[in-house]
A and B are shown apart, each in its own frame.
Chain A
Amino acid sequence: MTGLTLFSGAHVIDPANGIDAKLDVLVDGPVIANVAAGIAADDARVVDATGLLLLPGFVDLHAHLREPGFEQKGTIETETAAALRGGFTTICAMPNTDPAPDDASTVEALKGRIGRDAHVRVFPIGCITRERAGLSLAELSELADAGCVAFSDDGHPVTSPRLFRNALAISRSLGIPISEHSDDPALSAGGVAHEGRVSERLGLRGYPAAAEINAVARNIELAEATGARLHLAHLSCARSVALVADARARGLNITSEVTPSHLFLTEDAIAGPGREPAYDTNARINPPLRTEEDRKALLAGINDGTIDAIATDHAPHATEDKLCEFDHAAPGISCFETAAATILTLIDRGELDPAAAWAALTINPVRAFGLQHRVPGLGTLSVGAPADLVLLASSEAWTVDPARFVSRGRNTPLGGITLTGHVRAVMASGKLWEMGANDD
């Protein structure tokens, strides 16, 4: 064995290099060796990729792995296996664990677990504030030196504008972006569903759009005042997209992301399709699923490049966290294993522009967090880049069955829904994982 693998006849898409053509890809051990037509490599293992899309492995800026502290919901081992199955070869782990990584020692311990158990590349995100409590800043410089790629208190916003401004100023000097969960709890406290048609119909406490929009506006102002790199996590409102577009037009260093869930679903997912309201706790997420108008604006934000990244906000929960009253249900969706299919379905429907969508899953998130400086070539198929790639059967229809998830979290509102497109194989750091057809 030479360690050479040749993917032949694939439809290769590499947004970073402007490649969108039928080509061969040669992998040598852990790196990409060549991307060209008609590559001859007699001693390579040949993978016939005819009819499949071949892209750089997906990069996720926003995932919850639950370890340490919440292993009943998921572990680094189970959730990175789910990431792999979903085509994600690089993920950034949010720090809402217990303990939360708010100093070097907790990050070192986390890195030890990652090194031992992870199936894909995992970058830790450090806390902005100590124990994510929003009261005092975490050991930001230690966290940067320990390898955190961003700071976030995700799940909570940093409510104090002054503390947040200080965090931005320090993060700028450290060259690390802040990924902020934009929310004004004074408006959203107690809310469990988007304040609107469905919440009023079902008698659910409303979470108004203004809670996010207010916070997005504040965060942009403070980023401008400090010159920091601000990344806005999981945008859900049309007005938020407009504020980001405005900030970028003014030349600010603002990036943002949207989840496949917010691109695909609306508040109606809570009520479900039947005459009797479903109160589907699996459709409870934070920020909540919003209106069709918002969804359209988020799609447009990806299509015109206003929003950089599609990030999963993969949030596995144990069954009992969701099998309860809607008010008491934990917010979050187990997303890794449906993300690619959701995006392919939106492309198939003509709602997402494929070039924009693939960039939002590969090179854009890399640049948003500056990951190319940590792993050269990440998110691309450039020669010498890591051999991370994903093969997709773009027109294969399948029905989501959460019971077959690799993730410990079976919490998806997509159970029983038919999606178009499937992850067929994934190579992570040169190791090939074949998923087979969807009836594996």
Chain B
Amino acid sequence: MASAATRFPQPGPAPIVETSWTAKDLLDTDTLSLAEINLILDQAGAMKDVRQRQGKLATLRGVAVVTLFYEQSTRTRASFEMAAKLLGADVVNLTASGSSVEKGETLIDTVRTLEAIGADLLVIRHGSSGAPYLAARNTSAGVINAGDGAHAHPTQALLDAFTLRENLGDLKGRRVAIVGDVLHSRVARSNIWALTALGCSVILCGPATLIPRTLEDGTEEGRYMVTDSIEEALDGADAVMALRMQRERQESGLIPSLRAYVRDYQVNSARLALARPGAIVMHPGPMNEGIEIAQDVAHGITSTIEEQVANGVAVRMAILYHMALARQRR
């Protein structure tokens, strides 16, 4: 009885989502339960679905989202702003320059001022590790860590996990290689906790001076390991994530030269051949094409780099939506 009228699948029983988001803040992925991570990923899927159909919603009408950036960033801030606006929230953007921050106002005073003005959610990017924790302890507004020093970048990790899940399905037992300046990478750190919670094996790889020496403590669980061999890291990988290599690392002598880095650690097609066929290629951006990642790989058919950016908006919509709800319920 296949007729034209039944061309789309009949909906099954609605999924019963058992977890709710109750936390005031989102500071890192290490304190999230698997259920919370799955909630955000599932909800991001629904957001992506809604987003494909329509323009702006009025869901978060009256909710004020403030982005407070003490470091330069274009994509993360734009992504948060887009996500908030698509949900109908009011968005105020503050940068360290052009505000009281430059006049020496403390982080705590700034945060309290923004709360008094009526901020519901604060999206904070800061060069000092731990700064959003300090902010979160000193305001009743929800704080979202948009990157703190070399510590954490939870929304990036969640959008990476979302992208991985969209491309690979269930992540249990998948191998994800993260290559580059792991030591200074907040993206790598937050990905370790999110991806291992989802059942991935995470292989951290980079020059000996740029990989952590003590994170090996985690290998006893057999879930992540550290290596200075890119061949070992990429062997059989389901996904390869290249990290941005900062020019300063050369200047401070942590690597001999960018040339040496390219020679030894660039993710290129020859090395990618060691990974599983069809392994996806990721990068948190902004890319230095030709340094940490070869141009043809960055734009190859298995590259998800642009997808990551698009998914970032859906993931941040899910986060903003649930954190705004949690705040209203408090």
Evaluate contact between B213 and A200: CB separation under 8 angstroms: yes
Contact of B27 among A197, A276, A325, A328 (CB under 8 A): A276
A327 to B150, CA, bound (A): 12
Segment from B113-121, B129-137, B169-177 that makes contact with A: B129-137
Closest Cβ neighbor of A276 among chain B residues: B31
Which residues from A are CB-within-8-Å of B217?
197
Which residues from B are CB-within-8-Å of A276?
27-28, 31, 133
Size of the chain B interface, CB-CB below 8 angstroms: 29
Evaluate contact between A325 and B31: CB separation under 8 angstroms: no
Q: Mark out the residues of chain B between 118 and 153 whose CB falls within 8 Å of any chain A CB in the assembled complex.
A: 126-131, 133-134, 148-152
Evaluate contact between B133 and A196: CB separation under 8 angstroms: no
Shortest CB distance A295–B (Å): 17
Type the 1/0 row for A61-73, where 1 means its CB is closer than 8 Å to any CB of B: 0000000000000
Closest Cβ neighbor of A328 among chain B residues: B128
Contact of B149 among A196, A203, A320 (CB under 8 A): A203
Evaluate contact between B134 and A325: CB separation under 8 angstroms: yes
A278 to B186, CA, bound (A): 17
Evaluate contact between B214 and A197: CB separation under 8 angstroms: yes
A78 to B48, CA, bound (A): 61
* B19 interface residue (CB < 8 Å to A): no
Evaluate contact between B212 and A200: CB separation under 8 angstroms: yes
Which residues from B are CB-within-8-Å of A201?
189, 214-215
Shortest CB distance B284–A (Å): 15
Contact of A323 among B31, B106, B149, B150 (CB under 8 A): B106
A276 to B133, CA, bound (A): 9
Closest Cβ neighbor of B134 among chain A residues: A325
Shortest CB distance B270–A (Å): 31
Evaluate contact between A326 and B31: CB separation under 8 angstroms: no
Evaluate contact between A204 and B134: CB separation under 8 angstroms: no
A278 to B131, CA, bound (A): 11
Evaluate contact between B107 and A325: CB separation under 8 angstroms: yes
Type the 1/0 row for B164-184, where 1 means its CB is closer than 8 Å to any CB of A: 000000000000000000011
Q: Mark out the residues of chain A between 163 and 189 whose CB falls within 8 Å of any chain B CB in the assembled complex.
A: none
Q: A200-B212, A200-B215, A279-B133 are in contact. Are A325 and B183 (CB under 8 A)?
A: no
Q: Mark out the residues of chain B between 214 and 239 whose CB falls within 8 Å of any chain A CB in the assembled complex.
A: 214-215, 217
Evaluate contact between B107 and A203: CB separation under 8 angstroms: no
* A99 interface residue (CB < 8 Å to B): no
Shortest CB distance A71–B (Å): 20
Which residues from B are CB-within-8-Å of A250?
none
Which residues from A are CB-within-8-Å of B186?
203
* A202 interface residue (CB < 8 Å to B): yes
Which residues from A are CB-within-8-Å of B148?
203
Contact of B129 among A196, A278, A279 (CB under 8 A): A279
Q: A276-B27, A324-B134 are in contact. Are A200 and B183 (CB under 8 A)?
A: yes
14 pairs of residues in contact across A and B, judged by CB atoms under 8 Å: A197-B214, A200-B212, A200-B215, A201-B215, A202-B129, A203-B189, A204-B130, A276-B28, A276-B31, A279-B134, A323-B106, A325-B107, A326-B129, A327-B149
Task: Write the residues of chain A forming the contact surface with B, with a CB cutoff of 8 angstroms.
Answer: 196-197, 200-205, 275-279, 320, 323-328
With contacts A200-B215, A275-B30, A327-B129 known, what are 13 further pairs, Cβ within 8 A? Answer: A197-B214, A200-B183, A201-B189, A201-B215, A202-B129, A202-B130, A203-B151, A203-B186, A204-B130, A279-B129, A279-B130, A324-B134, A325-B126
